[in-house]
Structure 1
Amino acid sequence: MYRRNQKSLKAWPPSFTPLLNARPCHTSHETQYNSISMGDEDELVHQHSSHHATHAVRQLTWALILTLIIFIVEFIGGLESHSVSVLSNALHLLSDSGAMALAYYAAKVQAHPPTARLSYGYRRSGILAALINGLALVILSTLLIAAGIYRLIRPQTVQAPVMVWLGLLALVFNAAITLLLIRHEEHDLNVRSMFWHAVSDAAGSFSVMVSGLLILWTHWSGFDPLSGIIIGLVLFRASVAITRKSIAILMEATPLGIDPAAIEASLRLIPGVDDVHHIHVWALESGYNVLSAHVLTGNMSLREGQQLLATLKTRLTTDFAIHHVTIQLETDHHPHPDDDCIHPSS
């Protein structure tokens, strides 16, 4: 963030500092220029992020409550009917309840404002939760595939009528949870991981119901593990994608769809820009992109430097979806000690 006071001017690069620390020739309105300030923009972005986080917390709360209810129903029904498949689905719901509780906590703290130590706030808490949930989904889907293969080799007797009714009831609850989360899954990686948890639960409940119907019709219990394997493969693919994206954000990789070379070429076309280097683009969280770069300019006044910064920021925001911009201006002009006067025409 650039400001007009002396403290912030010292933060400019050494090659540009002599020009910025020069004494103005006039005290009239000509000296009332302002540097680019990101503070208001960051505050608006934080309020926007907090607004989304508040809605995410509300949706995750209801999703967690509904998941716990159907878990209790399926667990009791599985014990009463001695159905291994229903009990397995209930344990799946229990693991998802734990994941949703973690996602709820992450979304809750994500709305907290920045502090002196955490200048970006808790934005990445959702990414950490998404990573943990993604890894949990990878493990869970692998276990489901392994369990399905084992039950194909060693079939077990199941109570098909209980499977049908409990599967239908769970499907209704899981469909409601999925509809609750679908509005936010595109904008929040943490909610997206919970969305896929809910989708996997709905698919599991549908599998239990359909498998029960097929078993009633054919008297072959192998339909249950077959559907479980298919669901496990779909879940595994989705969980790997979430895990990889979470790791990429934490490693500050360049976001998908953003080409640093294209950014450099675009900035070079702006009048006043001689060179662009040290470009770094990363995502603070899913959908919030950050950029830092060095821009080499010719000899220009402070006013012209501010105008150039405004142009650069506008280009990056509108053309490349960069939300937070930090640009270091550099110049090869080093004024003499007596050349400490800023002229508007310079």
Structure 2
Amino acid sequence: MPHNHDHSHGTGNLKVAFFLNLGFTIIEIIGGLYFNSLAILSDALHDLGDSLSLGLSWYFQKLSNKGRTKNYSYGYKRFSLLGAIINAVVLAVGSIFILAHAVPQLFNPEETNAEGMFYLAILGVIVNGAAVLKLRKGESMNEKVVSLHLLEDVLGWAAVLVGSIIMMYFDAPFIDPLLSILISLYVIYNVYRNLKKSMLIILQATPSEISMEEVKSQLLELTEIIEIHDLHVWSLDGNYNVMSVHVRLEQDYKLSELSDLKEKIRSKLHDKSIEHVTIEIEAKDEDCSYLESKL
């Protein structure tokens, strides 16, 4: 039951987002040093990590489009997931580094160039917003994770924009390190959520959008089936779901009839986001205890 997607489009999106992010990171580093803004330098470090992650995501996404080989019988789809995990780890390490520098400055803030921060923040919202728009329709877990990180950048720059406006009219230099701390905590929270999702996929947890009981009850609606067992559903990359099932029949059927039955089963699963199904057919009195004891 194959589903074809334009994976080259997603790879191109990551490529554009990578160069946008890398170019703006260089501008951020120069601007942060020139305007003496820890918030900007913190976000520059964050974006540098994002650039590295985007480069890896671009590479892994491209690799994940390769077909099956003798070493990777399911293809390279999980390499896309590996890119998402590396992405999350890089952001977590970068955010902890930022917090270690921002917390002391919260109690001993330095003067910053609020006007310079204001103009750089506007540019940050525009550049990162363009990257989000490029990736927002991504289908892979990799693209979704990267898109979320870039959306966080947009929100971070919006916060810097508001903070710079306040500092332009009030003597409140503590806002700069405070923004840095808030941005870092927000990023760490979302990294935790995304890393948790990725680990659940690696551990072959049942996809959250699929109800095992619902799948089982729908298959039992077929009159030919009297029992369902050894039902397993997992995801390769958060998008491509796989299922295997043992089906016990109420009588013996010809091969041609079994082919029709399998088609009925796949039809039942069509709306369940299950891309690949392996069906084990069993006779009414067949003993499957050996297989069950092994699973």
The normalised TM-score by structure 1 is 0.77
State the secondary structure of the residue aligned to 2:206: coil
1:130 CA drift (Å):
0.9
Number of residue equivalences = 285
* 2:181 counterpart of 1:237: no
The equivalent residue for 2:260 is 307
Partner in structure 2 of residue 328 of structure 1: 280
- 1:60-209 equivalent positions in 2, closer than 5 A: 60-184=14-138, 187-209=139-161
Structure 2 unaligned runs (5+)?
A: 287-295
- 3-state SS, counterpart of residue 77 of structure 2: coil
Say if 1:138 and 1:83 are closer, same or farther in 2 by CA, change over 3 A: closer
User: Taking structure 1 as reference, are residues 101 and 277 closer, same or farther at Cα in structure 2, changes over 3 Å only?
Assistant: same
| Alpha-carbon contact 1:131-1:246 (below 8 Å) kept | yes
Instruction: Provide the residue aligned with 1:35 in structure 2.
Output: none
> Structure with the greater relative contact order (CA < 8 A, sep ≥ 6): 1 or 2?
1
Residues in 2 aligned to 1:329 and 1:254: alpha-carbon distance in whole angstroms:
22
* 2:174 corresponds to 1:212: no
For structure 1, the 5+ residue unaligned runs are 1-40, 335-346
User: Does structure 1 conserve the Cα–Cα contact (< 8 Å) formed by 2:38 and 2:180?
Assistant: no
Rounded to whole Å, the distance in 2 between the matches of 1:266 and 1:169 is 53
Distance 1:79 1:137, change over 3 A: closer
1:208-252 residue CA offsets vs partner (Å, 9 max, x unmatched): 332222112111111122223332333223221211111111111
CA distance in 2, matches of 1:224, 1:70: 20
Q: Are residue 58 (structure 1) and residue 20 (structure 2) matched?
A: no
Amino acid aligned to 1:302? L
Structure-2 separation of matches of 1:277 and 1:323: 20
Deviations 1:17-50 (A, max 9, x none): xxxxxxxxxxxxxxxxxxxxxxxx44xx3xx24x
Measure the CA separation in 2 of the matches of 1:272 and 1:322: 22
**Alignment partner of 1:72: what SS?**
helix
TM-score with structure 2 setting the length: 0.89
CA positional deviation for 1:102: 0.6
Paired letter, 2:148? W
Q: Which amino acid aligns with 2:21?
A: T
Secondary structure of 1:56's match? helix
Distance 2:31 2:269 in 1: 57
Percent identity at matched positions?
A: 31
Runs of 4+ in 1 over 6 A off after TM superposition: none
Q: Deviations over 1:271-329 (max 9, x none)?
A: 111211100110112222111011111222222222221211211223x2321110100
Amino acid at match of 1:193: V
